[in-house]
């Protein structure tokens, strides 16, 4: 080796020497490497790809970054004096917020070993000047997001930038796996594999049910990379304990609701007895409300308590994270924004407010406390309404058994593929034959047919499958030698802006009149307010002054008048299959003698008694249906206890089947425990039973037909239209109201339905509804279970404790078999009466 010669005494180090080098640095810090860290170093140095299963805060960054640095030292014996600039490693993180901490850790080790390696961050927050500098001279390690990686692929000559890359790490892979950002990552990796032959691919994932599949998705099924890979598990011997917060008396316990403020006083002693407490809420609105009430009732916490959620400005969030590190905060009320990354050693107590809906998420949060290996993590669960206590009880068992869910990867996401191909066409252009081979090797597109591929190519070049007279469709053009390329600067510009659009409501920036950015709120919320109205946001009472472009200008509110709390629409979570099963078992145990019940169920005695007044608490061989009449119409409530998504599907299916018997119109509501079919007509339950409407026969066909009359596929189509670039969300800063995006995607849905139903993107909306929303498999199992149960119909006078949370839910699906004209006329008759 010529390098070894010039350095004289330095020669190639053995693996053992490399390990010793790293260990001595660890020793200098007063640490000792974990077994899983050393295992990862070894596998990496052996040239393997892999998936590291390690929880947050366990030292996973050092597992992989140290491995990379040691490998670099091995191959560059003159590393202390010689440094060749250029990108050598990429670290992908799903959350921008995490990049700073990763960068600090990485730089610390690189400097500690005097490697001269540089670390840089490139995300949506990176200033333009910095990005331009990076383009001229890339850092050795680039920390970035899936979207920013895709953006890098849109730049001309990108192949040269990546060609010497030897490692890419996908952090928090479990978060990306079940989402389209995961598909985006798969596609990006398929390209990098081709242009960087020395690339090693590693993922880091928290514990999920399908870890082996997660590795297969990351590396590509049957790929060389997959064959040469390993799964490393960090066994930290963690145990968990769930402690439910149960009030002294159950009288004040609400039957529904999701804020949980009635138990506010119960958490105060927990906060007082721990160094630092994290309170996890399920929504940003709940977070705001809790903070507001806490400050009002316990002003002594002022200065020692903070709030953290995704819509608060970055500086504040970073400050809060830093303050947790420094132990200068007593408590932080947060949302899932603190789920990932950031190691918070000082956190002693975790309080979960409201059902976390999934075991994996709950355990991850529980893992936030008690970081010392072997120490038991305690998580307090605060139920927001009575029935959630059953959930708490079930969670306690889940934590002991460590049952966790799968993350289901997306298949054939043509919208993401179209976005990716446009990305390549914007940069240097691409030849389909070459890209086809790469794309086919991904997990997502392994089953894509040549016909589908041809369809996609026609779609991006012609906007349809055959040339049309008078058509001016323009996006990707085919050059003479067959290269697919975007020539229009406008198309390229729009595409770049569109990458990474998180489909959600338009976010408006909230700023003080005198300057000072506070955070973002959604357009729909602010549109309900008029100037002068007061709302609470980021823990402050603000008065709306005016809306200017995409900015909401506010003043500090002087009055103490009742303020609205900002709310966000963010997706509601559903119970996982595992969680539902635990929940059912738990519920059935309410029929056991009191002394055999858990503490939580015992506390619910009054509510169960009330439920039994007019109805029953079902056993595992019973399926309960309740009916009653109110001013709103005829309520029919069904209790499968299968989680929100399955209930949405089951509700639509049953409503559809009933609507075949006679013309009728329904609205359907659902929560994690059951669903309601509400109508202006009474449903004859005997007829439902006689016609065997719970059968799993013709499930697929009936479900498909019921879908046509509901909104589910439409909602899925919205994301697809945006990701595939059919709907443009607007230039930053310029006001293109999101309403237009919505109207566009809704209109698009309808024109596709009427004029081009064979369109693959249109069909994808239905497929996604089946695979990711309805969980057809789960639905079938649920129906088969119900078929074996005895159906018990209870005609009640009024709402029962079980039905109350469902019937008051406002999120509703609709289904009708009446003629539109008849429905209007019925409504008019109804209006006349009142």
List residues near another protein by CB under 8 A: 459, 463-464, 468, 470-475, 488, 490-491, 494, 524, 569, 632-634, 665-667, 678-680, 711, 725-728, 739, 742-744, 746-748, 750-752, 754-756, 759, 810-812, 814, 820-821, 823-828, 830-831
Nearer to another protein, 468 or 795 (CB): 468
Q: Measured from the CB of residue 726, what is the shortest distance to another protein in angstroms?
A: 5
Nearer to another protein, 690 or 754 (CB): 754
Q: Measured from the CB of residue 727, what is the shortest distance to another protein in angstroms?
A: 7
H/E run at residue 669: strand 665-670
Other beta carbons less than 10 A from residue 192's beta carbon: 21
Contact present, 287 and 317 (Cβ < 8 Å): no
H/E run at residue 202: strand 200-205
Q: Measured from the CB of residue 714, what is the shortest distance to another protein in angstroms?
A: 9
Contact present, 217 and 182 (Cβ < 8 Å): yes
Nearest to 320 by CA among 294, 293, 291: 291
Q: Measured from the CB of residue 491, what is the shortest distance to another protein in angstroms?
A: 5
Q: Measured from the CB of residue 500, what is the shortest distance to another protein in angstroms?
A: 18
Nearer to another protein, 181 or 494 (CB): 494
Contact present, 278 and 338 (Cβ < 8 Å): yes
Nearer to another protein, 234 or 655 (CB): 655
Q: Measured from the CB of residue 637, what is the shortest distance to another protein in angstroms?
A: 14
Nearer to another protein, 488 or 551 (CB): 488
**Structural Rg of the chain based on CA atoms:** 28
Strands 812-816 and 665-670, sheet pairing: antiparallel
Contact present, 629 and 666 (Cβ < 8 Å): no
Nearer to another protein, 102 or 678 (CB): 678
Q: Per DSSP, which regions of 354-506 are E strands?
A: 376-382, 477-478, 484-485
Q: Measured from the CB of residue 710, what is the shortest distance to another protein in angstroms?
A: 11
d(CA 301, CA 330): 8
Which DSSP string corresponds to 297-325?
Answer: H-GGGTTTEEEE-TTB-HHHHHHHHHHHH
Provide φ and ψ at 134, rounded to 5°: -60, -35
Hunting for tokens 């159906």 — which residue is that? 791
Nearer to another protein, 524 or 545 (CB): 524
H/E run at residue 545: strand 540-548
Q: Measured from the CB of residue 257, what is the shortest distance to another protein in angstroms?
A: 17
Hunting for tokens 């919505």 — which residue is that? 742
Contact present, 680 and 830 (Cβ < 8 Å): yes
Q: Where are the alpha helices (DSSP H) in 8-54?
A: 15-28, 35-45
Q: Measured from the CB of residue 472, what is the shortest distance to another protein in angstroms?
A: 4
DSSP state of 198: T
Hunting for tokens 């169960």 — which residue is that? 608
Nearer to another protein, 282 or 729 (CB): 729
Nearer to another protein, 179 or 746 (CB): 746
Q: Measured from the CB of residue 750, what is the shortest distance to another protein in angstroms?
A: 6
Q: Measured from the CB of residue 732, what is the shortest distance to another protein in angstroms?
A: 18
Nearer to another protein, 93 or 422 (CB): 422
Strands 507-512 and 551-556, sheet pairing: parallel
3-state helix, strand, coil in the chain (%, to 5): 45, 15, 40
Nearer to another protein, 488 or 509 (CB): 488
Nearer to another protein, 148 or 745 (CB): 745
d(CA 172, CA 632): 47
Contact present, 498 and 726 (Cβ < 8 Å): no
Q: Measured from the CB of residue 311, what is the shortest distance to another protein in angstroms?
A: 18
d(CA 345, CA 278): 12
Exposure of 687 in the CB half-sphere (CA atoms within 13 A): 10
d(CA 166, CA 87): 9
Nearer to another protein, 700 or 830 (CB): 830
Nearer to another protein, 302 or 834 (CB): 834
DSSP state of 430: B
Hunting for tokens 């990485």 — which residue is that? 106
Contact present, 438 and 194 (Cβ < 8 Å): yes
Contact present, 613 and 637 (Cβ < 8 Å): no
Q: Measured from the CB of residue 617, what is the shortest distance to another protein in angstroms?
A: 27
Q: Measured from the CB of residue 348, what is the shortest distance to another protein in angstroms?
A: 39
* Bridge partners, 312 (sequence order): 519
Nearer to another protein, 378 or 508 (CB): 508
Which two structure tokens, joined as six digits, stand for 10?
Answer: 């330095």
Q: Measured from the CB of residue 495, what is the shortest distance to another protein in angstroms?
A: 8
């Amino acid at each position: 080796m010529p390098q070894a010669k010039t350095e004289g005494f330095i020669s190639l180090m053995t693996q053992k020497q490399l390990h010793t080098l790293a260990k001595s640095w660890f020793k200098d810090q007063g640490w000792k490497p974990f077994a899983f860290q050393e295992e990862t170093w070894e596998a990496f140095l052996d040239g393997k790809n892999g998936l590291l299963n390690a929880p947050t805060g366990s030292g996973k960054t050092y597992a992989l970054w140290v491995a990379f640095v040691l490998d670099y030292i091995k191959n560059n014996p003159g590393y202390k004096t010689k440094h060749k600039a250029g990108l050598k490693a990429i670290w992908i993180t799903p959350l921008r917020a995490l990049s700073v901490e990763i960068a600090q850790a990485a730089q610390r080790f690189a400097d500690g070993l005097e490697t001269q390696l540089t670390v840089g961050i490139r995300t949506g927050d990176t200033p333009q000047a910095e990005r331009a500098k990076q383009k001229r001279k890339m850092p050795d390690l680039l920390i970035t997001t899936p979207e920013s990686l895709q953006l890098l692929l849109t730049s001309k000559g990108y192949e040269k930038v990546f060609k010497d890359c030897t490692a890419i790490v996908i952090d928090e892979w479990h978060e990306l796996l079940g989402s389209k950002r995961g598909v985006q990552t798969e596609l990006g990796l398929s390209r990098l594999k081709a242009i960087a032959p020395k690339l090693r691919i590693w993922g880091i994932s928290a514990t999920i049910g399908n870890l082996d599949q997660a590795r297969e998705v990351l590396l590509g099924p049957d790929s060389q990379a997959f064959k040469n890979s390993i799964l490393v598990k960090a066994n930290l011997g963690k145990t968990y304990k769930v402690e439910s917060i149960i009030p002294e008396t159950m009288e004040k316990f609400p039957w529904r609701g999701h804020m949980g403020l009635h138990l506010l006083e119960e958490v105060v002693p927990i906060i007082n007895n721990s160094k630092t407490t994290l309170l996890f809420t399920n929504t940003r609105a709940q977070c705001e409300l809790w903070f507001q009430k806490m400050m009002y009732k316990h002003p002594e916490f002022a200065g020692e308590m903070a709030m953290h959620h995704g819509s608060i400005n970055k500086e504040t969030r970073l400050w809060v994270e830093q303050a947790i590190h420094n132990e200068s905060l007593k408590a932080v009320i947060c949302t899932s924004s603190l789920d990932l990354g950031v190691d918070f050693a000082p956190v002693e107590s975790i309080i979960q407010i409201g059902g976390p809906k999934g075991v994996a998420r709950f355990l991850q949060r529980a893992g936030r406390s008690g970081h010392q290996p072997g120490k038991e993590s305690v998580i307090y669960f605060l139920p927001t309404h009575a029935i959630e206590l059953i959930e708490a009880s079930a969670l306690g068992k889940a934590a002991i058994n460590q049952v966790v869910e799968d993350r289901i990867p997306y298949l054939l996401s043509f919208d993401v593929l179209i976005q990716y191909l446009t990305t390549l066409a914007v940069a240097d252009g691409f030849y389909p034959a070459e890209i086809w081979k790469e794309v086919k090797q991904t997990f997502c597109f392994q089953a894509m047919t040549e016909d589908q591929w041809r369809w996609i190519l026609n779609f991006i070049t012609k906007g349809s499958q055959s040339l049309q007279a008078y058509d001016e469709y323009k996006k990707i053009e085919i050059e003479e030698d067959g290269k697919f390329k975007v020539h229009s600067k406008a198309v390229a510009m729009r595409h770049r802006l569109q990458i990474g659009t998180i489909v959600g409501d338009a976010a408006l920036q909230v700023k003080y009149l005198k300057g000072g950015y506070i955070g973002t709120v959604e357009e729909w919320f602010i549109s309900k307010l008029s100037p002068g109205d007061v709302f609470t946001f980021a823990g402050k009472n603000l008065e709306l002054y005016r809306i200017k472009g995409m900015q909401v200008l506010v003043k500090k509110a002087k009055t103490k008048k009742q303020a609205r709390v900002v709310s966000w629409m963010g997706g509601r979570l559903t119970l996982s299959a595992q969680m539902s099963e635990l929940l059912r078992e738990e519920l059935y145990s309410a029929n056991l003698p009191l002394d055999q019940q858990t503490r939580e169920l015992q506390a619910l005695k009054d509510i169960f008694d009330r439920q039994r007044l007019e109805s029953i608490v079902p056993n595992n061989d019973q399926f309960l249906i309740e009916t009653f009449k109110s001013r709103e119409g005829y309520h029919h409530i069904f209790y499968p206890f299968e989680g929100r998504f399955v209930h949405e599907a089951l509700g639509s299916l049953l409503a559809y089947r009933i609507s075949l018997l006679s013309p009728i119109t329904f609205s359907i509501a659902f929560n994690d425990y059951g669903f309601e079919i509400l109508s202006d007509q009474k449903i004859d339950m005997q007829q439902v039973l006689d016609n065997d409407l719970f059968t799993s026969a013709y499930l697929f066909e009936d479900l498909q037909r019921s879908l046509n009359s509901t909104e589910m596929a439409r909602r899925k189509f919205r994301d697809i239209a945006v990701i595939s670039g059919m709907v443009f969300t607007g230039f930053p800063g310029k006001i293109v109201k999101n309403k237009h995006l919505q109207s566009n995607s809704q209109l698009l849905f309808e024109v596709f339905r009427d004029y081009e139903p064979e369109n693959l993107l249109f069909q994808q909306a239905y497929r996604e509804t089946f695979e990711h929303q309805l969980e057809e498999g789960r639905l079938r199992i649920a129906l088969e279970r119900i078929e074996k149960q005895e159906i018990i119909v209870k005609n009640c006078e009024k709402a029962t404790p079980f039905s109350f949370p469902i019937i008051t839910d406002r999120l509703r699906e609709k289904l009708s078999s009446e003629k539109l004209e008849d429905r209007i006329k019925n409504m008019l008759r109804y209006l006349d009466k009142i």
